[in-house]
Amino acid sequence: MAFVVKKYATHRVPVEIHVPDEEQPSTIHATWKLLPFSDYRETSKQLNLGKMDDSALVERDLISMDDLKDDKGKPLEFTPDLLEGLMELTFFRRALINSWVTAQECGPEARAKN
């Protein structure tokens, strides 16, 4: 199959969340804005230097999250308030930020942010 040269604006990736005291991880999907390589490299640098925080990254680049459910199994709509609460869960926050790297590098084997 030939590579189609076009603008690739977003990438939807699975986010594996390891919830404390649960044997199996949970999986949601996050859709991220794709950055040109130079912007990705600069953003990674700013994150690693502590000049940009995770919340700013999420606010800027996260488009949506899917497959979220409440404790009764009912689907939840992605909202800023829901995201704000989830970002307070360290295990969720880390998984979501790692999925940004995966999205930018377009693969599940992408390295995680240190």
Give residue-wise pLDDT tens across range 16-28: 999 999 999 999 9
Give a yes or no: residue 2 inside a domain: no
In this structure, is residue 16 part of a structural domain? no
Q: Residue 105: is its pLDDT beyond 70?
A: yes
Instruction: Look at residue 111 and tell me if it is in a domain.
Output: no
Please count the structural domains in the chain. 1
pLDDT digits (tens, 9 = 90+) for 33-92: 999 999 999 999 999 999 999 999 999 999 999 999 999 999 999 999 999 999 999 999
pTM of the model: 0.86
**Greater pLDDT, 31 or 111:** 31
The pLDDT of residue 108 is 58
Residue 32 located in a structural domain: yes
In a domain, 10, yes or no: no
Cα 104 to Cα 47: distance, rounded to the nearest angstrom: 14
Structural domain boundaries, residue 31: 22-105
* Residues 17 and 95: beta-carbon distance below 8 Å: yes
Cα four-point dihedral sign 85, 95, 28, 44:
positive
Higher-pLDDT residue of 28 and 7 is 28
What is the pLDDT at residue 82? 96
pLDDT at 110: 40
Please report whether residue 65 resides in a domain. yes
